[in-house]
Copies of this chain bind each other. A is one copy, B any other.
């Protein structure tokens, strides 16, 4: 039974707090948020206390932290937690700057504390089953990965301004998926993008529609396509081609109802967005973290994974800017 301090009482914070509250291996002790009222409400709901950062970090009974605050605070909190010897569950990205990520990793590795980076999609039941079956050899040797990943609509421009841009904010999840499935690091990466959804995105120097191709040393190929706007909902699909077949994981729908009319046969759109689609994944991810820490094992998706996804995002940005393929560092 580990006691937790959670930083961040927003949308994702609420999900993690609820998971902690009903876990038998964890207890939520503290909630910390710059918005004191939000912290208090969330703490009250789960029998925790709203305290400030130092109180939470300083309490030796706290064995683990959940970092679900704004991106710019992740690295500092992770470093503080590492120094305090606490296990770390950190929402992605660790930071938008590779230098700061590396500084953070150094501290975490020095402190030898377990750290999980919140690539929640690895815990989606369908994606996890796909990878397990790929690993079990059901389609032979992997040859190609195709990842389709589209948001239902553009986030607020205020959000986009501080997001780090398309690759660091959105594609980073897909880079992690690609690495996880390829089982090898990409050695060549090409990315291109356009501003097709809203010209205001372009005015920020960003893009909203991108395509990426990567190749590994053994010749495996991966493609990612992203759009900030799929009006039909959150589109999250993965396909892998192997020497003995193909595995695909598609979207989930609210219901299985279909209507056959005199015009067409209509079925449900995919679930709306990440809170709906990845509801089970968020719980499985936190359960995995709690189990790992209780068992003294490293979580399945660690700080290095967080770093490498950012390396690919940086490479994509460079490729798009130069119009040339690049070798990710």
Q: Which residues of B contact A233 (CB under 8 A)?
A: 260
B229, B257, B266: the one contacting A126 at CB < 8 Å is B257
Q: Which residues of B contact A126 (CB under 8 A)?
A: 255-257
A14 CB → nearest B CB, Å: 14
Residue ID in chain B nearest A130 by CB atoms: B257
Q: Which residues of B contact A219 (CB under 8 A)?
A: 194-196, 209
Decide if A261 is an interface residue (CB 8 Å cutoff).
Answer: yes
Decide if A247 is an interface residue (CB 8 Å cutoff).
Answer: yes
Q: Which residues of B contact A196 (CB under 8 A)?
A: 141, 143, 219-220, 243
Given contacts A195-B219, A257-B249, contact A265 B262 (CB under 8 A): no
Chain A interface (Cβ < 8 Å from any Cβ of B): 22, 125-126, 129-130, 133, 138-139, 141, 143-144, 146, 148, 150, 188, 190, 192-197, 209-213, 215, 219-223, 225, 227, 229-233, 235, 241, 243-252, 254-270, 323-325
A164 CB → nearest B CB, Å: 21
**Separation of A232 and B241 alpha carbons in the complex (Å):** 10
Supplied contacts A129-B254, A146-B146, 18 more A-B pairs, CB within 8 Å: A125-B255, A129-B255, A129-B257, A139-B259, A141-B196, A144-B227, A193-B221, A196-B243, A211-B222, A213-B213, A230-B246, A231-B243, A232-B262, A247-B257, A248-B256, A248-B260, A249-B257, A264-B269
Given contacts A225-B144, A247-B257, A255-B249, contact A150 B241 (CB under 8 A): yes
A264 to B268, Cβ gap below 8 A? yes
Q: Which residues of B contact A267 (CB under 8 A)?
A: 264-267
A256 to B264, Cβ gap below 8 A? no
Q: Which residues of B contact A221 (CB under 8 A)?
A: 192-194, 209-211, 225
**Separation of A269 and B249 alpha carbons in the complex (Å):** 15
